[in-house]
Structures are given as structure tokens and as C-alpha cells.
Amino acid sequence: MDIEKIRKWLEITNEYKKTDFWTKVLEEKQPEGFVRLQDQYPKYDMLQDDYYHYVIVEIPGVHAEELDLKLISKKEIRISGRTQTFLPNQTEVRVERYNGHFERVIDLPEETRADLLQVSMDKGLLFISFPRNVEKITILR
């Protein structure tokens, strides 16, 4: 491939579309609003009740021993691991699920400590819970 021909084509495309999307991609810069799939994986929900925060993370096909869970600050948990294809010698026809190394940092709503985290796994879901700062909660009687 002639890289100069590609660059010229990109200049023409960028001029026509009034954007520099492809130029940013080639320069390994993230265009505004562009999100890579591995930046979104794994997906999670965060819930709370009167006394606990709950984080439920989807990680199908990943076993507990393949995960690394670390409280990297008082308000951030990092989850990392690796997903693998179930049929490695087959031809891919369509692939929507992410395979490979993943890492996600989850911002917590309040500070916690590692010794307060309760972690379990069931049916492809990682459950993390930790107590809320109940001193800040007003209980109405």
C-alpha cells in the first residue's frame, strides 16, 4: 500500500466531510465521542439500599481465579482479566462479544476500604458490596 495515496485520500475525505475523524484514527488519537469496545467492557450496574452499595458486573465465561480485583484508591475499584473464545479453531462468521484482556475502573459513590468489600460470583455475574457511610444517612422515624 502506498501510504501517501491513503493520506491524500484522507485529506480529500476530511475536506468533503468537514471532519478529521480518519486522520485522528490514523494518528492513534481518539476522535471525540469515540469509545472502544474494551473501554466499555465489562458492563456493570451500581445500586444501593439504606446501608450498602452494590456493584454487579457482567463477566460471562470468566472464572473467579482468572479475575484481578483491586481497590486502587478509596473510591476506585479496578477489575481486570481475560475472556477467551470458546471455539478457538473455528472460523468467525460474526463476533459481537469481546475476547481478550479487559480492564475497567469503576468509580465508587463514596470512600471504602478493601477489608469492607464483600465479593462473590454466580452465573457470570460478579457481585461486590460494601457498607455505605451510615453516619451521613438520616433515618426518619
Neighbours of 98 (CB within 10 A): 14
Q: Confirm whether 116 is domain-assigned.
A: yes
User: 14-53: per-residue pLDDT in tens?
Assistant: 776 666 666 666 665 555 555 555 556 899 999 999 999 9
CATH code: domain of residue 107: 2.60.40.790
The pTM assigned to this predicted structure is: 0.65
Measure the CA–CA gap between 119 and 127, rounded to whole angstroms. 6
Q: Domain of 20? A: 1-34
* 12 lies in the same domain as 58: no
Report the domain count for the chain.
2
* 19 lies in the same domain as 80: no
Q: Confirm whether 139 is domain-assigned.
A: no
Measure the CA–CA gap between 48 and 136, rounded to whole angstroms. 14
